[in-house]
Amino acid sequence: MTTKNIHEAKLDSVKELSPTSAEFVIKPLYPGYGNTLGNSLRRVLLSSVKGAAITAFSIEGTTHEFTAIPGVREDVVDIMLNLKNIRFKMHTDAPVELNLEMKGDKQSEKDGDKRVVAGDIKLPSEVEIANPNQVICHIDDPKYTLKMHLIVESGRGYLTIEKASEERLHSDMIAIDAVFTPVLRVRYKVENTRVGQDTNLQQLTLTVDTDGTLTPKDAFEEAAAILVNQYTALAGSTKVESSPAPGSNTDDDDAGLMLPIEELELSARTANALLNNDIKTIRDLVTLSETDLKDLKGFGQKALDEVKEKLTELNI
């Protein structure tokens, strides 16, 4: 009986869907490892990637969140909810204090209210805002001047309002429960795939959406690194031999076998028949016998003869 090693995962492709969304294809995977990797990466991406958020704030003239502010359309609770939607990118691990001061005498809207947005916050060099148009509140009294102080911190996961209250830098500030993660959504799909004669392999497609403070690729790599660190600590000195992913190149002298099928300059019909059967490289092709080739969908005797002739020309 032959025992196969569990081979290494391979990031086959990365497709950028938008500046804040990307699709990652991992293949081929050992049977069952599509869900194993997909679920692990999804949980870490949503819970453990480093980000930044407001953890406390104060508004001049208010003492707690259950307060109406004369001169401002929203109450403190509404302002708190708006502050939680501001997306920050920090270049320091230390908490940063920000200030916002806005007068209501410049009327920019038809109803006469002055709109205050995240872009109005005064920022030091170590802090950036990804969504400067996020509304904070509206000033409805031309004589009122809004003065706010904000604390922005970096972290991972979720900070409860109780914990934020205990750790706030200034006791007179109102604490906010903070969601640090820059990853908004993660979806994954597991499909069956084949490489050469191996037909029971899997393909994992992972789609990652971020808030713009971190690229999907950076988020993906950070999540993978977190998992590696966790499992390395648990494995101790135990090592498990792994096999190269099917179709991967392990010998420099065999580099030619990793060339795409198109390099053989086959007829369009023959090349399409191979690609439609997931035979993408010369290595994938040479692992198949004549019988295997004849069994491929849309691959006839004429195509077989063409492939044999081409491989003979290349001394393969």
The 10s digit of each residue's pLDDT in 171-227 is 788 889 889 999 999 999 999 887 766 677 889 999 999 999 999 999 999 999 999
- Over residues 37-60, the pLDDT tens digits come to 999 999 999 999 999 999 999 998
Identify the sign of the CA torsion 163, 58, 183, 49.
negative
| Token pair in block for residue 199 | 């037909």
Question: Tokens 């869900």 — which residue?
Answer: 35
* Cis? peptide before 28, omega within 30° of 0: yes
What phi and psi values does residue 65 have, to the nearest 5 degrees?
-75, -20
Q: Give all domains of the chain, ordered by start, each with its CATH number.
A: 11-48+185-232 (3.30.1360.10), 50-179 (2.170.120.12), 257-313 (1.10.150.20)
Q: How far apart are CA 303 and CA 309, in angstroms?
A: 10
- d(CA 208, CA 220) in angstroms, rounded, equals 8
- Name the DSSP class of 9: P
Tokens of residue 41, six digits: 């990466």
User: What is the helix, strand, coil percentage profile of the chain, to 5?
Assistant: 30, 30, 40
What pLDDT digit, counting tens, does each position of 122-170 carry? 999 999 999 999 999 999 888 889 999 999 999 999 888 888 777 766 7
Nearest-angstrom CA–CA distance, 115 and 108: 7
